[in-house]
């Protein structure tokens, strides 16, 4: 047999139904019944936000993302499921912190 076998795995992402941020955890409730919780330290803007700023979250992207307008932070279900941390550079984060003062 010539060639190679290839398999493509696809999966349907669950939609977000609720986002909760505490002083140490970001928790996302999904439509399939799962709740995913990750350390808030993965996302420095959330970690440095106030309780009010963290509570002002909008579910976006047809339910596959979420946005904090006060913190200029956007995250998505796929990234959380893959365990991705913030990729913001230290320089960018420092500029953001300076603007907050």
Q: Which domains are seen in the chain, by residue range? A: 16-100 (3.30.2020.40)
Residues 64-72: what's their mean pLDDT?
96
Residue 7's pLDDT is what? 74
Q: Whose CA is closest to 38, among 65, 55, 48, 46?
A: 46
* Residue environment code for 64-88, b if the CB has 16+ CB neighbours within 10 A, otherwise e: ebbbbeebebebbbeebeeeeebee
Residue 2's pLDDT is what? 63
- Which tens digit of pLDDT belongs to each residue from 1-49? 566 667 776 678 999 999 999 999 999 999 999 999 999 999 999 999 9
Residues 88-99: what's their mean pLDDT?
95
3-state class (DSSP) for residue 29? strand
Q: What are the strands of the beta sheet with 25-30, ordered from one edge?
A: 16-21, 25-30, 35-39
């Amino acid at each position: 047999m010539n060639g190679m076998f290839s398999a493509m795995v696809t999966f349907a992402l669950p939609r977000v139904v609720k986002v909760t941020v505490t002083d140490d955890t970001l928790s996302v409730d999904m439509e399939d019944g799962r709740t995913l919780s990750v350390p808030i330290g993965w996302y420095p803007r959330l970690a440095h936000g106030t309780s009010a700023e963290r509570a002002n979250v909008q579910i976006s992207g047809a339910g596959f993302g979420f946005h904090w307008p006060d913190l200029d932070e956007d995250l998505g279900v796929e990234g959380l499921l893959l365990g991705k941390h913030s990729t913001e550079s230290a320089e960018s984060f420092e500029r953001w912190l300076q603007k907050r003062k």
